[in-house]
């Protein structure tokens, strides 16, 4: 029998996912392609939180700001440097990663609520800073245009399918890289620091440097997610990165199970589904416009509380414990 190493299995799994998504992309309508792109983007952003919190034990409430860094970097490279959108997305990843690295050095000594507080301040302040620099376009922001799909795909190849392809491919590649990282030596050292920083330091690990590394990788992932987000809405502006985005991502991570990258797609699905559910609820029971505007936030908060009470380790663990006891 053919034996596969875990890393080959992982690669095979991602290739299979890619094939599945390619087939799915052909069968669904434009709306689902658009929503699917959002699911992929959210999955990546949630993955960045899981890597940081679940694997390296650091808590960030400021990932929306890191996404904004990537998004602006990508938009500026398209508009001002006239680079190819794919390169712009790579730049988004690296600039956000670099920003995370610098930030990581600054906050490496902080942990728990202090780190959460610092990153929260970042999420509040960073997007509004964009208003101070005319090159960032103020409240109206700057355009992020990936352009029309290549003509060789034919006339029926819609913009949304193009978005779907770009998002899914970018997210699969990134998650494949990250899943390799977390199952490597680095992943083990991250987990060692998470479980007991003192013990990890005593075993000879440079905990400060590793924490900064985790922060930087996580920021890079968030930056790419930010770039994808503004690609989907054709432009980047401070309003694309509200504080509530950080909280939604955190909820997504908690709902998925913060200790494993495996369920990020579920988290993405939940975040895309919530406004839909809110919409249909409002249509069914009737209600004011203000009600529609606030209901998604309420649902996200409620979900976070319920997840923390009933399934703090994610639905996978919950199912597992049901089986054990039941």
Partner 1 sequence: MIRNTRMKRFSVVSAVVALGAMVFTALPAQAAEPGLTSKEIKLGISTPLTGTAALSYGKVPGAMKAYFDFINANGGVYGRKIKLVVRDDKYLPTLAATQTTNLVLKDGVFALVAALGTATHSKAYAAASLATKKVPDLFVNTGFSGFGNRTKYPTTFTVLPSYAMEAKIISKFVKDKFPGQAVALVAQDDEFGVDGVNGFAAGSLSIASKTLYPQGYMNDARAKALVTGLSAIPGKPVVILFGTTDVTALIFKAAESLSLTSKFTWIAGSVGGDSNTLLALGVKPTTIDGVVAASFFPDAKNTTDQYVKEFTKINAKYNPGVSFDNIVLQGMNSAMLTVQSLRAAGKNLTRAGLIKAIEDKGSTFASAALVPLNYSATSHIGYNGYWMGQLNAKGELKPYGGTLSIVTTDSTTGPITPSTFKRPSMPKNGIPTNS
For binding to partner 1 (CB under 8 A), which residues are involved?
6, 9, 13, 17, 20, 24, 27-32, 34, 36, 39, 131-132, 134, 137-141, 143, 145, 148, 158-160, 230, 232-240, 260, 262-263, 265-266, 269, 289-290, 292-293, 316, 319
Minimum separation from the CB atom of position 104 to partner 1 (A): 28
DSSP label at residue 203: T
Q: Which of 6, 215, 28 is nearest to 104 (CA)?
A: 215
Comparing CB distances to partner 1, the nearer of 47 and 137 is 137
Is 155 exposed, middle or buried (CB count within 10 Å of its CB: 0-12, 13-18, 19+)?
exposed
Which tokens sit at 258?
Answer: 């913060």
Is 280 exposed, middle or buried (CB count within 10 Å of its CB: 0-12, 13-18, 19+)?
exposed
Minimum separation from the CB atom of position 215 to partner 1 (A): 27
Minimum separation from the CB atom of position 269 to partner 1 (A): 6
Comparing CB distances to partner 1, the nearer of 103 and 175 is 175
Comparing CB distances to partner 1, the nearer of 76 and 210 is 76
Minimum separation from the CB atom of position 106 to partner 1 (A): 27
Which tokens sit at 80?
Answer: 């001002």
Comparing CB distances to partner 1, the nearer of 200 and 229 is 229
Phi and psi angles of residue 236, each rounded to the nearest 5 degrees, phi first: -115, 130
- 161 and 146 in contact (C-beta within 8 Å)? no
DSSP label at residue 149: P
- 65 and 219 in contact (C-beta within 8 Å)? no
Comparing CB distances to partner 1, the nearer of 104 and 137 is 137
Comparing CB distances to partner 1, the nearer of 144 and 190 is 144
Comparing CB distances to partner 1, the nearer of 11 and 111 is 11
- Measured CA to CA, the distance from residue 12 to residue 32 in angstroms comes to 26
Minimum separation from the CB atom of position 101 to partner 1 (A): 28
Comparing CB distances to partner 1, the nearer of 6 and 312 is 6
Minimum separation from the CB atom of position 231 to partner 1 (A): 10
Minimum separation from the CB atom of position 76 to partner 1 (A): 15
Q: What is the dihedral of CA 165, 247, 110, 50, to 10 degrees?
A: -40
| Residues β-bridged to residue 143 | 235
Which tokens sit at 277?
Answer: 């559910």
- Measured CA to CA, the distance from residue 221 to residue 49 in angstroms comes to 9
- Measured CA to CA, the distance from residue 233 to residue 163 in angstroms comes to 10
Alpha-helical runs (H) found in 130-196? 159-182, 185-195
Minimum separation from the CB atom of position 63 to partner 1 (A): 17
């Amino acid at each position: 029998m053919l034996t596969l190493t875990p890393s080959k299995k992982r690669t095979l799994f991602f290739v299979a996912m890619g094939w599945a998504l390619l087939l799915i992309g052909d069968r669904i309508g434009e709306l689902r392609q658009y929503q699917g792109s959002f699911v992929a983007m959210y999955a990546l952003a949630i993955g960045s939180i899981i890597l940081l919190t679940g694997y390296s034990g650091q808590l960030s409430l400021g990932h929306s700001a890191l996404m904004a860094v990537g998004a602006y970097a990508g938009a500026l490279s398209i508009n001002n440097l006239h680079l190819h959108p794919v390169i712009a997305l790579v730049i988004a990843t690296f600039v956000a990663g670099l920003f995370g690295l610098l930030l990581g050095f600054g906050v490496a000594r902080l942990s728990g609520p202090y780190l959460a507080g610092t990153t929260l301040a970042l999420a509040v302040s960073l997007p509004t800073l964009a208003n101070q620099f005319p090159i960032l376009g103020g409240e109206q922001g700057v355009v992020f245009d990936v352009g029309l799909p290549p003509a060789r795909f034919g006339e029926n190849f819609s913009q949304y399918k193009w978005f779907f392809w770009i998002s899914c491919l970018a997210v699969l590649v990134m998650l494949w890289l990250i899943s390799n990282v977390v199952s490597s030596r680095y992943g083990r050292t991250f987990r060692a620091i998470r479980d007991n920083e003192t013990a990890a330091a005593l075993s000879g690990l440079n905990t400060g440097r590793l924490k900064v590394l985790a922060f930087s990788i996580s920021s890079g992932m968030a930056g790419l997610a930010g770039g994808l987000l503004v690609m989907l809405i054709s432009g980047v502006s401070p309003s694309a990165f509200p504080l509530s985005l950080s909280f939604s991502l955190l909820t997504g991570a908690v709902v998925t199970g913060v200790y494993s990258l495996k369920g990020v797609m579920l988290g993405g699905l939940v975040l895309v589904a919530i406004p839909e559910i809110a919409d249909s609820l409002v249509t069914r029971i009737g209600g004011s416009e203000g009600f529609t505007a606030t209901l998604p936030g309420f649902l996200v908060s409620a979900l976070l509380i319920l997840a923390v009470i009933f399934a703090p380790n994610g639905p996978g663990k919950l199912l597992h414990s049901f089986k054990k006891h039941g």
